[in-house]
Amino acid sequence: MFRNLILISTLIAGSLAAQSFPIVEPGEVGMDAGKLARADSVIEAAVKAEEIPGAVLLVMRQAKILHRKAYGFSMLIPERKPMTVETVFDLASITKPVATATSVMILLEKGYLRLLDPVDMYIDTFEPWIDPESGKKERIRIWHLLTHTSGLPPYAPVKELEDKYGAPNPDSLMAYISRVQRHSPPATKFRYSCLNFITLQRVVEHITDMDLNTFSRHNIFEPLKMTHTRYKPGAGCAVTELIDEKPLDGVVHDPLARIMMDCISGNAGLFSTADDLARFAQMMLNLGELDGSRILSPLTVQKMITVPDEVDFSGRALGWDVDSDYSSNGGDIFPYGSYGHTGYTGTSIWIDPESSTVVIFLTNRVHPNDSGSVVRLRSLVANIVAASIIDLNGKTEHD
């Protein structure tokens, strides 16, 4: 029954024509073109210094694209291939909010789960936190996973699990996560963890009886006309690290996703373009709707991007980063209430509802070797974009 309802809603949404965003000059949406041009210089300098092979920057305000440009190369080895604005990137952890958290919130809206539900309602082997002194047990809940306050460790020993259970082996990985020692009681400490979102993936799949790839495609990407967003896209992407002397092309970089999860994972594995992410971001700015396709309700979007009071120390909302130690991709100028996420491969998205601005900055910084860093570069780019907003109302130069 659930599968049939999903397919029917997808067909209805798919019949609605997608509209592309108009491309305008920065001044038409209250931004200073001269200031914004500084982003080109900063990114080009990073390419020249070999901090990154290449990048794509897309800046959008008030549903209008005012900067969309490619820099450098999508591949250096075995040959140089120029980057284009249509390049497909390994999003890495941007998978978490775009695919996994959004899927969870869709199920919440449909009445299949609550944020307060304990995880063991859906994964019966999932163990609670146990106080080592008193033996007191405290169950881990869905919202703890979404905010990275569950107590789960950051990652899992991939090689050890592969040697012990073979790979890919999602069930064995889930069994490991279910019983691995929790580092703290839930809702007491923020510790970013890929295991949280692999667990959420299993919850989604338990409820829907379909894999996360299928569910997110039918309920998010197809309705939004995100035509280049998918798991396992195949070759022709911005390549990442050299593994066994061959660059990963269209194969997820994250070891847990690639080796244990067969490339479909709640923590990583999604591939997309800047244009597709712009459609997702505008849906969020529109409070859940784009071009007649409603993905989430307005109140659900507001809930999703709000840091729960119980864990305000974390700076994390439900799948999104608002003000944590990982939110440097938002820079120093965008106001509190803006939100986004990064990906290990060098990807970034930042959304500011107050100014209706989106900054999508995609790089393949792990190519050819996992040695570059874009932490500072992301902040520089975000600051340049924010500083170029000279009219908060977004009026044109002629108004």
Q: What are the pLDDT digits (tens) for 29-74?
A: 999 999 999 999 999 999 999 999 999 999 999 999 999 999 999 9
Kindly report the average pLDDT of the chain as a whole number. Answer: 94
Confidence (pLDDT) at 395 = 58
In angstroms, the CA 258 to CA 112 distance is: 29
Q: Which pTM value belongs to this model?
A: 0.94
Q: Which domains can be identified in the chain, with CATH numbers?
A: 2-113+211-387 (3.40.710.10)
State the sign of the Cα–Cα–Cα–Cα dihedral 397, 377, 258, 201: negative
Spatial neighbors of 161 by CB under 8 A, at least 6 apart, are 167, 169, 172, 173, 176, 260
Confidence (pLDDT) at 20 = 82
- For residues 338-342, give the mean pLDDT: 98
- For residues 132-139, give the mean pLDDT: 94
Provide the token pair at 7. Answer: 């397919």
Confidence (pLDDT) at 17 = 40
**Angle CA(117)–CA(340)–CA(22) in degrees, nearest 5?**
120
> pLDDT band at residue 372, thresholds of 50, 70 and 90?
confident
- Per-residue b or e along 24-47, where b marks 16 or more CB atoms closer than 10 Å to that residue's CB: bebbbbbbbeebbebbeeebeebb
Provide the token pair at 167. Answer: 């790979």
pLDDT of 183 over the 90 cut: yes
Provide the token pair at 338. Answer: 């803006």
pLDDT of 14 over the 60 cut: no
Q: In the chain, pLDDT over 90 holds for what percent of residues? A: 92
pLDDT of 255 over the 60 cut: yes
What are the residues facing 69 on neighbouring strands? 57
**Angle CA(390)–CA(396)–CA(399) in degrees, nearest 5?**
110
Residue 2, H or E segment = helix 2-14
